[in-house]
Amino acid sequence: MSSGGARLARSSRETLPVWQRLLIAALMLALFAGLALALLSLPGQSEGLRQEVAAQLARSGVSHPVTAVLINFRGYDTLLEMAVLLLALVGVWSLAPAAQLRLERAGAVLERLAQLYGPLMLLVAGYLLWRGAHAPGGAFQAGAVLGAAGVLMLLAGRHPAASLTGWPLRLVAVLGLALFAAIAALLLAGGGALLQFPPEHAARLILLIETAAAISIGATLAALFLGGQHGGGAAR
Amino acid sequence: MNVALFYALTGAGIFTLGLHGVIIYRHLLRKIMAINIMGSGVFLVLAGLARRVPAGPPDPVPHAMVITGIVVAVAATALALVLLLRLLDVSGSVVLPDNEEE
């Protein structure tokens, strides 16, 4: 992809005639006016669903409303989101085999930085995960930091062993979704509604789901980076 | 105009700018970036509207949606980038073919 920069410059907007660009700009302005009108027509003050969330917060198992919404009240969102992440990973893997690694050797600074930051990022991820129960934080933030740690390791030339990128990586990537779905199925079998956590166990269940989700999100994000890393033409 | 509405309007503007980029740029990497800008605009609208409460912490539901949306956007972007690389592998081009040229 050495010619990528040249292509990027060449194929920018000069291919469109002026009247088309003006028309598109006018349409975009009209769209913005419509969106602005819609936003301005909303009531200037609104409680939203805050009161409803606050009323049920004590039964959710956590004290931070956003985490309660994410894992408990709107657990569907998070469950399906884990499925979307997994689907993206399956898509990436089916287009570009992860075995095709051609990363260059990193410089000494990056290697040293990765050595210093790797453990620190693991610690931060664990802290964010635990913190999510009562303050901003949680599985996604922890997963993002874990994913970033994985990317940093890859950039520093520390590739996972080939034996780890096969079944172990797949198991870790599915872990979050599988555990979430299994808990949902068990609750369903136990006579409750889907994803309706009993309040007395909610705290433990949420921590369990969040831990698995954070590990899966981190592994998936790093694997997405790895999967897209192959050089042009190397995959086939 | 209150601050929450200002953020939401800014988000709508960012969304429109992103859509403009998706339409006028032919390079697919630019299109992918423009779609991400559109997504950021949507997130800003959601976060802005969540702040319309009279006092105290904002509405948590839109915030949860933004967190979910960010992760989905990252995953979709990764898939789009790999599709782009694959297109480059197969066709040697980073733009979609024009119907007129065929």
Q: Which chain B positions have a beta carbon within 8 Å of A141's beta carbon?
A: 67
Could you tell me where the beta strands, DSSP code E, fall in B2-99? none
Q: Are A212 and A175 in contact (CB under 8 A)?
A: yes
Is A8 within 8 Å of B30 when comparing Cβ atoms? Answer: yes
**Interface pTM (ipTM) of the complex?**
0.86
Identify whether residues A38 and A106 lie together within a single domain: no
Using CB atoms, which residue from A24, A42, A235 is nearest to B20?
Answer: A24
List the beta bridge partners of residue B95. Answer: B27
Query: Structure pTM?
Result: 0.83
Chain B residue with Cα closest to A233? B89
Range of the domain at A123: 52-227
For residue B27, list its beta bridge partners.
B95
Burial of residue A17 (CB within 10 Å: 0-12, 13-18, 19+) is: exposed
Question: Is A3 inside a domain boundary?
Answer: no
A142-161 CB burial, b ≥16 within 10 A, e <16: bbbbbbbbbbbbbbbeeebe
Residue B29 near residue B55, CB atoms below 8 Å: no
A206 & A105 share domain? yes
> Each residue of A131-152: pLDDT tens digit?
888 888 888 899 999 999 998 8
In a domain, A233, yes or no: no
Higher pLDDT, A72 or A178: A178
Q: Between chains, do B61 and A69 touch, taking CB under 8 Å as contact?
A: yes
Report yes or no on A207 lying in a domain. yes
Q: Is the pLDDT reported for residue A108 higher than 90?
A: no
Q: Which residue in A153, A121, A115 sits closest to A229, CA to CA?
A: A153
In a domain, A232, yes or no: no
Q: Do A96 and B85 touch (CB under 8 A)?
A: yes
How high is the pLDDT of residue A235?
36
Domain boundaries, chain B: 3-91
The number of distinct structural domains making up chain A is 2
The Cα B29–Cα A4 span in angstroms is 10
Query: Rounded distance, CA B2 to CA B85, Å?
Result: 44
Nearest to B16 among A13, A28, A66 (CB): A28
Q: Which fold has domain B3-91?
A: Helix Hairpins (1.10.287)
Q: How far is CA B56 from CA A51, A60, B52, in A?
A: 11, 20, 10
Query: Looking at the partner chain, which of B5, B25, B53 has a beta carbon nearest the beta carbon of A50?
Result: B53
Q: Are residues A41 and A118 in the same domain?
A: no
In a domain, A212, yes or no: yes
Tell me: do A128 and A207 sit in the same domain.
yes
